[in-house]
Chain A
Amino acid sequence: MGGNTKKTVPDAAALPNEGAAPLSGNEAIARGAWEGGVRVAAAYPGTPSTEILEALAEYPRDDVHAQWSTNEKVAVDVAIGASFSGVRALSAMKHVGLNVAADALMSQTYIGVNGGLVLAVADDPGIHSSQNEQDTRLFARFAQVPVLEPSDAEEARIFTALAFEISEEFDTPVILRSTTRLSHTRSTVSLQPRVEKDGGEFVDDPVKNVIIPAHARRRHPLVLEREAALERYFDDSPLTRWEKGSTDYGIITHSTAYAYVKEVAPDAHVLKLGASYPLARETVRKFCDSVTRVIVVEELEPLLETEIRAMGIVIEGKDFVPRAGELSPEIVRGALAEAGLIPAEDAPLALDAVAELARPPVLCAGCPHMTSYFTARNLGARITGDIGCYTLAALDPLQAIDTTVAMGSGIGNAVGMAMSGTEEKPIVATIGDSTFLHSGIPPLIDAIYNQANITVLLLDNHITAMTGGQDHPGTGRTLAGEEVTAVDYEKIVRALGVEFVRHVDPYDMSDVQRTCADAIAFEGVSVVIADRPCVLDPVKIKGPALNVKEENCTACQACMNIGCPAITWSDTLFEGHHKVCIDEEMCIGCTLCAQLCTSGCITVPEATVAASA
């Protein structure tokens, strides 16, 4: 069967307190946090970090409060607040989420913690589902907070629990860095009972907790002292592991790169750094002195390499190991061979490579976003996009997004275009419901305030869809499943001062077209709310499939212009062009293709019509 991929640990609370279980890296981070006594956890969903909070939400509510927050900054602030109140707190995010939360982190590094504070940040080397592959370890150095880097799920559990201890002992936020490969790899994790921390309390200490200039000046030297103390701690900690080998060279490595090193050079001397920052310099120096040659195998940026070079030690690294992209056993093998450390492998007797078939992700059959982008393109608009499923509308055949930058950027970009004076097309900003709540409201206020002549298409599909269907303040449900008041977008938008606000149903193509034309004609900021639930989440929508009366199809393929994956070529031709057919399994019966059909050949099956009449 298709299988349920959403809930990977349906009953985390039911996991025993001993023995072992196969857990993904994300589930292991959640387990480690729970075992470490976390009381409050907050996050905004983001691949590959999303399942950390989903897994935490499965533990008893009395142990841990887990919540979706409106964005990563808010989530980190919530965790900081819980820490102020003396309990252990965690916030999870993807690498670019830390950019959003950076402001709070950069203050909190001076303030420190009361209850242990851990930020679980999942990087995406290889850019499987992100806009960049920034290296969070550089952020840790920037913020002068320690960064722990597990290499597998078991370490993810242990390091997460340990991160709370380090946080409290050294009065610092701690970053636990994962990567896509770790977060989404399942391996055996041993299970331990929860260490319950006695209830903490708020500690009155304004010089520490209120970070005004006078206080900050006193705190900064303490941050530097803390950094030195952490360096000594990591020198002696089992996090820094020297594995004796039989080679005359040595490898310094971290994170999942360690697994690749062990795969291809099992006999090498290895220094595995469980914390990349602050660097355990004394151990590193001893290690380097013990071998004739040292190569650093690290994924993405040469953080370790730069730090070690700064100690005056001659090492190698990025001359052989690529700086862009995800590492793999093959790449590490190639790098070590090129460096002359291991013999080059004979070219394997590889099977003939077959030309690859492009199979990018596409909008779903019946996706309401199809209408919004089809219409905006037809109206000849300059279209700014945002982050979400709808970014897929940039691809063939819709090709309806001109720019995409970062979460919440689309509206601000549109304002800038309107002010540039060079844009002749009408300017339409498109943004999803969850992204709008995340960071779309301040730029909309900016648009009103500065009287930009733009149209905002708010694509409300009632869910955070791209990350797998998470609730948000607009859905009226929390992560724990409680019913709450849902955000009323129209009220928000009107309160900001938008005069032109209309609701449209994306399954009524002509209404969307007319309304968007009116919105574009309106002088000033206009908002059109395209209101239809996602076809996948929270419930999978499946109506009766449409079919094509093949004898009437004139092969114009107009229906294929919306990019619905349920429509494809049939075997029969008309004037040399392929007629179309509809995949019954995929079609959900949204009728958008029928609304575009020029010959009226796409219909609801008669039997269904009779049944519903």
Chain B
Amino acid sequence: MSEPTNVLIVGVGGQGVIMLSKVLATLCQERGLAVKQSEVHGMAKRGGAVFSHVRFGEQVWSPTIPKGKADLLIALEWAEALRWLDYLEPEHGVLIADTKRIVPPFSCRDRRVGATSSYVEGAPAEVIEQVAEGYALDASGMARELGNERAANTVLLGALSTKLPFSEDEWRGTLSRFVPPKTVKVNRAAFDEGRDWVSGRRDGEAPTAPELPDMISRARPGAGEQLDIEIVPEWCKGCDICVRICPERCLALNSEQVVVLIDRKACTGCRLCEWLCPDFAIAVRHSYVAEAVA
């Protein structure tokens, strides 16, 4: 008995991962193939990572794809593509990924001068080099140009359709049943766009990964940064505003109800305390400013 075909579809909540996997699963089922589509949701709507395993063939046992066994990895977001790369079959697995970057709020938490986002590194061209066959495309951009960025998943579906043995009509027929009636037109166009891009029909050239700009400018390193917090105790009336608003919780009131810095290392120099103090009793001195002025 032949091994099942494994398609792993990944992305971020709200991007339409589940819709794509349902289209594929329905198509397989209507073709009379055994199919299992497994997802873990519940967190999906809240910006969490979402993934869906689709396995089909003559006989499918496990609902999940073993690591290193995905024939196709479809990623609706760039960091998600990298997260699941080890699921891709190394010798023939195909990666199709949107280069869109959705930066989670957690990766912009560092307030220090020179902080960089913790969003993953990995330029599309380098990643495409690593895999047996790979396509990194700006599906979201294509969909936006067609009038609806949310159809980016359908661009990827178009790309996926070139790699599986179903006819173009079967794909279109199933797709149109899963999208809202008002958006059938844009989704059809998005499907064609993805199909053409991967098959190189567009511009008659082999597809190449788009260059991505640095997402967050890499600011000057914070090493050697001098920060000083100056507190004028006579002016502080102990109103507590700075203590409560400090994001790093590095201020406190002492026994005389005067603000003191309790954790100098935690202070990032954001100046919230300075700007909110009604009595001008607290000031943040940045060496960065001094340099800039000098």
Contact = CB atoms under 8 A, between A and B. Distances in A.
B19 A2 contact: yes
A360 B68 contact: no
Interface string A563-578: 1110111011101111
Contacts of B162: none
Nearest to B29: A22
B72 to A, nearest CB: 14
A310 interface: no
Contact of B106 (A328, A348, A360, A378): A360
A420 interface: no
A466 B46 CA distance: 9
Given A352-B85, A568-B103, A578 B48 contact: no
A569 B112 CA distance: 13
Contacts of A128: 40, 42-43
B63 A181 contact: yes
A466 B42 CA distance: 7
Interface in A353-367: 353-364
B42 A348 contact: no
Given A555-B270, A556-B270, A578 B106 contact: no
Contact of A350 (B68, B105, B120, B247): B68
Given A129-B43, A576-B219, A185 B66 contact: no
A362 B178 CA distance: 28
B25 A353 contact: no
Contacts of B270: 555-558, 577
A262 interface: yes
Given A260-B61, A467-B42, A330 B67 contact: yes
A1 interface: yes
Contacts of B43: 128-129, 360-361
B62 A263 contact: yes
Interface string B1-25: 0000000000011111011101001
A392 interface: yes
Contacts of A260: 61-62
B247 to A, nearest CB: 5
B283 to A, nearest CB: 13
Interface string B53-97: 000000011111011100000000001101101101011000000
B75 to A, nearest CB: 12
B99 interface: no
A187 B22 CA distance: 11
Contacts, number: 250
B113 A577 contact: yes
A537 to B, nearest CB: 9
Interface in B175-234: 178-180, 183, 187, 216-217, 219-220, 222, 225
Contact of B180 (A1, A350, A378): A1
Interface in A252-300: 256, 259-260, 262-263, 266
A351 B131 contact: yes
Contacts of B119: 357
B69 to A, nearest CB: 8
Nearest to B26: A22
B173 interface: no
A492 B151 CA distance: 47
A259 B120 contact: no
Contacts of B153: 1-3
Given A185-B36, A558-B245, A576-B222, A536 B63 contact: no
Nearest to B106: A358
A578 B219 contact: yes
Given A187-B60, A378-B244, A396-B106, A359 B49 contact: yes
B237 interface: no
Contact of A358 (B107, B121, B130): B107
A576 B114 contact: yes
A450 interface: no
B46 A362 contact: yes
A539 interface: no
Given A351-B86, A567-B105, A262 B150 contact: no
A141 interface: no
A397 B22 CA distance: 35
Interface in A522-559: 536, 554-558
A496 B90 CA distance: 64
Contact residues on A (Cβ < 8 Å of other chain), bracket: 35 or more
A21 B30 CA distance: 9
A296 to B, nearest CB: 18
Contacts of B67: 330, 348, 350
Nearest to A3: B19
Given A349-B91, A554-B271, A22 B61 contact: no
Given A1-B19, A3-B19, A573 B105 contact: no
Given A48-B42, A348-B90, A187 B48 contact: no
Given A348-B67, A361-B47, A558-B272, A397 B37 contact: no
B254 interface: no
A575 B29 contact: no
B286 A576 contact: yes
9 closest residue pairs by CB, A with B: A3-B19, A576-B113, A361-B46, A361-B48, A354-B82, A361-B43, A185-B38, A263-B62, A129-B42
25 contacts: A3-B22, A3-B178, A22-B29, A128-B42, A181-B38, A182-B63, A184-B41, A259-B62, A262-B62, A351-B130, A358-B106, A360-B43, A362-B104, A396-B106, A397-B247, A536-B45, A556-B272, A558-B270, A560-B247, A563-B105, A571-B217, A572-B217, A577-B268, A578-B216, A578-B219
Interface of B: 12-16, 18-20, 22, 25-26, 29, 34-49, 60-64, 66-68, 79-80, 82-83, 85-86, 88, 90-91, 103-109, 111, 113-115, 117-122, 130-131, 148-151, 153-154, 178-180, 183, 187, 216-217, 219-220, 222, 225, 244-245, 247, 268-272, 275-276, 286, 288-289, 292
Interface of A: 1-5, 20-22, 47-48, 128-129, 152, 180-182, 184-188, 256, 259-260, 262-263, 266, 328-330, 333, 348-364, 378-380, 389, 392, 396-397, 466-468, 536, 554-558, 560-561, 563-565, 567-569, 571-573, 575-578, 585, 598-599
Given A1-B154, A263-B61, A359-B104, 17 more contacts: A5-B41, A22-B35, A186-B36, A263-B66, A328-B64, A330-B67, A351-B131, A353-B86, A357-B79, A357-B82, A361-B46, A557-B270, A557-B272, A558-B272, A568-B108, A572-B217, A578-B216
